[in-house]
Amino acid sequence: MSTITTVKTSEYDKIVKLEKPNTVQANLWYLKPGFTAKPTFVSVTVPGVFESSNVEHEAYPHEITDIRGHEWLFSLDKSGFGFIQDAVPDELIQQIRNNEDEEIEKKYYPRIEELLKKHTGADRVLIFDHTVRRRIPKYARDGRGPVGARQPALRVHVDQFVHPIPAP
């Protein structure tokens, strides 16, 4: 006697079965297993004297898929992230591109706080930081550059707030 098992596939699971015309293989760099030293990173290196970091990384191949057109399959509860459509005024986009931190905090933060409250049902949103990263070719490709020139992050990482967030 044989048994047949039927598994209902959720909409979320279908993302794995999408036709993938825009999929690439790429290495993502993770902290090397067994690395136990206190990690350090500074934005300068003096070859042979002082390295910018003591951290050892290891590459792992991953398949990366362009999910445009399938954004609705992702949600904060299922995926840890979600997509929200919002038309940002050109003036604000220009302030972001120009790294106008004061204007970003004054105009963009409240906009994002309200957007997140509306879409998540949160009573309170705390934005603790923002970073605008862009590739500046004249600086090293390893993420180093002068203070304030934040190159794209080249390793898998999590941005986190060091201090506990106070209760309301």
Whether 147 has a pLDDT exceeding 70, the answer reads no
Residue predicted with more confidence, 28 or 7: 28
* Residue-wise pLDDT tens digits, 50-82: 667 788 889 999 888 888 888 888 888 888 889
Buried b (16+ CB within 10 A) or exposed e, 124-158: eeeeeeeeeeeeeeeeeeebbbeeeeebeeeeeee
Distance CA 97, CA 31 (A): 31
pLDDT at 91: 92
pLDDT at 31: 87
Q: Give me the percent of the chain exceeding a pLDDT of 70.
A: 71
